[in-house]
Structure 1
């Protein structure tokens, strides 16, 4: 409903604004007010002084406005001036200003023609820096959100891949309601159902004679105990004995249980514990343990062996031949490998090992041939024999007992004959031992004894060992 009176805005009945008030009105109505001639030269510039960060713009007057615009905004101003010269209406435009290089800010202008003759335009601008900062914050928040989504998808992919390839069976259970939140294929196989069928179901329902609340609380108590605890129960679907080892953790403020399931008899669990104990013995035992292939090439060695040969890292010995560290080299290795492969084991073999700086250490080696696999493995257990040799040194007076047989010969034979007889006995023992260790390999036995092959044959003939071996 209207009063029927004429509108003063339409009939231009609005009182004229005095010049001294006009500048104040324009500065309050906008953040920046500019009057620009058809050539783009600034004729006047007003700034809202209330909290304005711009300062004075008097140095703009008499200069082209393009001097204070960024490069991408200059074509915008040229189009505005061209359309204004043709009396075409231009409503709004956004321009980015720059002043003294470091002073840059966006401004949204409304364009108003001023007069018909001079065709100048009045540009009333609103500062968009706050809007631009808000937009920038939104863009940064969007980037951060997208990055968070990407990280979440990455972690989810890792988690899914880990659950799918893990051989051990795992079930994630919510403590609040006792339901299965997730599980892998191995756990589904043990429980006797598909993953989709088990997810969301009460965990206690998968076991025989178990109440939901009591069952979850008992598992939680095991998880919170200071020692490793487990419980063995029977599954409802497969009727198999399953051992549950729970671990408690929090996710998103909710308490969860990750339960490792192990199916099998107590003998299998004992075997697993034995394996763990053997691994600990290999890693922390005082005796050097080395595993090689059937040719004596080192596959793995423990820290005790690294200390024996004085190497810093396992990589330094992996792939090398064990013969490189023994006093008689390949001869010692061949003797041990031949006897171990032939009989399955060799109880004790005396040799010496050399470390990286050339220090020799006496050792006793036990060898086992592990051939129940596609690639046979030989295990060497090496004991430091330095202390054992010291303990075996004869005590005072024991030499008389060891030499009683020699003493009995004194007076009944010449010294030369006594020495010759004892030498023959020692030679016979050493040669027979070397031949036995080398599997009747005369060349290897000669090298072990430090003799030439011809000298060994002479001694074999002299001591009658050759005829004995041939007769056998």
Structure 2
């Protein structure tokens, strides 16, 4: 960025300036003026543009500026700067770079200028440097920073939800370092089960919680868990007391290190109702899978669905209605069941998951199939698409609703609601485009939209955009 150091103030002058530059003719001076800036303007003592040089593809308005006052070619906000620069040049003051915005055919053109006096103080030459590329880089940097801040906020929210679920879960859960089997975290249910003081288990070795005869099997079990996802739970003896505990574990990686999530329960581990390679494949699927009965009550689900609905375990959601988690009430589930009843399957249905009061839900795609006649079961595969939509560059997004997508709303909404939603969508897109075009200047956006500023503010609040833009200084 150009700053005070780009002026002549404080710089050592040429030692033989008179000898070196006395012979410079008009041709050499012209070349110097042409290469010193992207745009160079010759001004008389009144500030009128006498002549100029620039690449006309970058500054097509240059020919129209010649013969006009410099003040008349810039925006209202830049006029005080031009007047200060001209006044300083007349008084022989050292000039520094100042950003001036010219009025161009395609909008404002930011240029940084400095003035140099020549010809016995009767004329000035304004050397200008085009700042459009710098402004574009700054805008991209700002967008990247805002994206990082949104992702950071989302991660903080996820961490808060995880911490709340971890602390309030009735199931005893520990987070264990897979390298040395030391406990990194243990929720209150673990301390209550083992009769330990709150927070006293952190840093202890996991094997120390169990009897000596159980420690070698535990180490072998944990090693198998890190290599496979289909290791059955084991029963282990408690240290210093009678009774056995059932130990279940799963491995995961975080920040390049391996950890184990270990669950404890008293009694014998129930055998899984379904076994075989099919179950292992479904459990390991990256997409969420749910098995529901004929009443659409959840029978079982894989870990991806448990994480998607932010539940603590499969047991927490088993027996609940699928509609409690998927779709908008009274709309999406009815549409999906209608397609299943008619065709036996539903494919790539757009819906949401986790919708509740004040939150519209996370966008997902759902495919489903029906198996059986009388005692039917339904299988659902769910794929989140919200992150993919958010990562699209704002200025390259296509309209979220095409004609085909609008027709898919038939049967899910009334015609009146579809028309209203389409109108709201177009209005919001126009407001967002106006804000982008004016670099989030609300006053300018209201002007090009033909709205009053108060009306624009009202619509910003209506569409939830009030907190995403800020009034420039």
TM-score by length of 2: 0.49
TM-score by length of 1: 0.49
Larger radius of gyration: 1
